[in-house]
Structure 1
Amino acid sequence: MAREFAARGRNLALCARRLELLEELREELAARHPGIRIGVRRLDVNDHEAVFRVFRELDAELGGIDRVVVNAGIGKGQPVGTGYFHANRETAETDFVAALAQCEAAMELFRERGAGHLVVISSVAAVRGLPGSMTAYSASKAALAALAEGLRADVSGTPIKVSTLYPGYIRTQMNERAGKMPFMIGVEEGSRLLTEAMEREPAGAYVPSWPWRPLAFALRRLPTSVLARMLQRFP
């Protein structure tokens, strides 16, 4: 997504745990797009104090941040009650509690200047409570979507926008060792579609819209027993 936004001439504030990868990316983008400014910081979003500090630092460095994308997440959960509370807790802490910290830090900046665009990356897994190793993940992503909906209502009628994106399966490092997944798309296509969706500033959007929008409609209405049988086909 950083490459997609850079190609559109956007200044970038990039955060991740592996600073060396961010610095490599900054060099690549600066060479391709010499007119943009790029700030990078090492950040573990589970260090909540650091989230607020880093957001403030990058806001000052770049002369104001007008969009924040809450994208950090993990998916290491296991079936509830099988001795892996630590994995489910880590998933919930990163995918929801740390996301809450990022939303708080972003909204502080936006409320101060009366404008901004908050984007939270939920998942199609948020549509229903899912069984097995997906239970904590889907619950966390559903909580994130509810958080964004509340924020959207809170700032309704103001220049502050809040978008919730529900991506389907995108082949990234997080799931590169996963088995067969339905309707998987590549990271380049997924990044392009996510970026295009953000630029529209929607209240919510499935990415890609086909087939996930109609599938989400159906998933919400399937009996739990049918949903469980369907998901047994996938790991």
Structure 2
Amino acid sequence: MSVTLITGASSGIGAELARQLAAAGEDLALCARRTDRLDDLRTEILAAQPGRRVEVRALDVTDDAAVFAVFRAFAADFGTIDRVVVNAGLGKGAPVGTGRFDANRATAYTNVIGALAQTEAATELFRAQKRGHLVLISSMSAMRGMPKKVTVYAATKAFVAHLGEGIRGELLGEPGLDIDVSVILPGYIRSEMNDKVKKPMPFMVDTVTGTRAIAAAIQARKPYARVPAWPWRPMGTAMRHLPLKVVRRLT
């Protein structure tokens, strides 16, 4: 039975991904800061999928030591971790230079240092096992520098995407290891992170639909995926070349 560890699993895409992977037959190691929500999610999943095993633990990904401790504890629980989904992140921010360094710093620390800690801990486990599947949730905003409140967030997601690609390149040269690395770039998917955004967002899809596309890319072990494929696969290509005055309209 395959075991998937998901961070940031208490809400939004993380929680829905847990539901969908459990329905596909996977056991789950779920962690997030809000353990009450994790407990409720565990109860929900086991009621729908009584044959599954779901373990939960509290985790703040900005606590480096806790990241390594929790990942190792889950590995001890199950005897192995087959996949880690680096999903936990923060989406708040403000235009740079407008007096909200605190918000931008929190986003940068969580999405960069937190993602690095998770990735280090996961890859350490996989190296010891000589196998595994590392999944990093980036964002379509990583394709270009973005303006307004998204500037720092987009920059952090570009870090995540390049981190994954670099690790993939490193592991390709190491014999005896069967470790896949997937970088997933979701487009606009409704979640708790953006549910307070009042401005209509182009091509927004609901959580279930968007997460279904993410889950499919993960299960196919794709090295790189823009999801949902329409319109984000062609949109990503266009974003690389469009003038910034056009790209800024997507925020």
TM range (shorter): over 0.9
Structure 1 residues 4-83: aligned runs within 5 Å = 4-83=20-99
Contact 1:171 1:187 in 2 (8 A): yes
Give the corresponding residue for 1:145: 161
Partner SS for 2:70: helix
Q: Distance in 2 between matches of 1:210 and 1:78?
A: 29
- Indicate the residue corresponding to 2:12 in structure 1: none
State the match for 1:97 in structure 2.
Answer: 113
In structure 2, runs of 5+ residues without a counterpart are: 1-16
Cα RMSD of the aligned pairs, angstroms, is 1.1
Distance in 2 between the 1:61 and 1:6 partners? Answer: 17
> How high is the TM-score relative to the length of structure 2?
0.90
Q: Which runs of 4+ in 1 moved over 3 A?
A: none
Structure 1: runs of 5 or more not aligned:
none
Amino acid corresponding to residue 213 of structure 2 in structure 1: L
SS in 1 for 2:172: coil
Does 1:169 pair with 2:188? yes
1:60-91 deviation line (CA, Å, top 9, x unaligned)? 10121110000011111111111111111111
Among 205, 212, 226, the alignment partner of 2:232 is 212
CA distance in 1, matches of 2:194, 2:246: 25
Superposed, 1:150-229 pairs within 5 Å as 150-156=166-172, 158-178=177-197, 179-228=199-248
- SS of residue matched to 2:134: strand
**Structure 1 vs Structure 2: percent identity of aligned residues?**
53
Q: Give the residue type in structure 1 aligned to 2:190.
A: R
> In structure 1, how many angstroms separate the alpha carbons of the residues matched to 2:75 and 2:22?
17
Give the whole-Å Cα distance in 1 for the aligned partners of 2:74 and 2:126. Answer: 14
Amino acid at match of 2:103: A
AA paired with 1:98? Answer: G
Question: If the length of structure 1 is used for normalisation, what is the TM-score?
Answer: 0.95
> What CA distance in whole angstroms lies between the structure 1 residues aligned with 2:48 and 2:247?
46
The Cα shift of 1:28 comes to 1.5
Q: Residue 82 and residue 37 in structure 1: after superposition, are their counterparts in 2 closer, same or farther (change >3 A)?
A: same
Q: What per-residue deviation string (whole Å, max 9, x for no partner) do you get for residues 3-47 of structure 1?
A: 101111111000011101111111111122222111100111111
Q: Helix, strand or coil: the match of 1:34?
A: coil
2:166 alignment partner AA: G
Which residue matches 2:5? Answer: none
CA distance in structure 2 between the partners assigned to 1:188 and 1:223 by the alignment: 32
Q: Count how many residue pairs are aligned between Structure 1 and Structure 2.
A: 231
- Opposite residue 160 of structure 1, the aligned amino acid is I
**Contact (CA 8 Å) 1:78, 1:84: kept in 2 or not?**
yes
